Amino acid sequence: MLLRILGEVLIGFTAAGIVLAVALPAAIRFGYEPGPWLAWAAVAGSVAVCVALGERMNKRRKARESP
């Protein structure tokens, strides 16, 4: 359980890099100068989505495996 959550958080951190790669140049192009809060927002959002997706997948897998 703990290891799974840790894995989801790690994947969330990695996904935050990709989210920032899209969000940061887009924000600059539209005239905004985003601060470090954007990194926090990206991390929070990505980790939340990854944990939610991971748990959902785990629940579905368990439901499929149980008779």
Which residues lie near another protein (CB under 8 A)? 13-14, 16-18, 20-21, 24-25, 28-31, 34-37, 39-40, 43
Least distance from another protein to the Cβ atom of residue 25, Å = 4
Q: What is the rounded CA–CA span in Å between residue 10 and residue 19?
A: 14
Q: Residue 12 corresponds to which tokens in the numbers above?
A: 């969330």
Least distance from another protein to the Cβ atom of residue 17, Å = 3
User: Residue 32 gets which letter from DSSP?
Assistant: -
Q: Between residues 1 and 30, which has the closer beta carbon with respect to another protein?
A: 30
13 alpha-carbon distance from chain centroid: 6
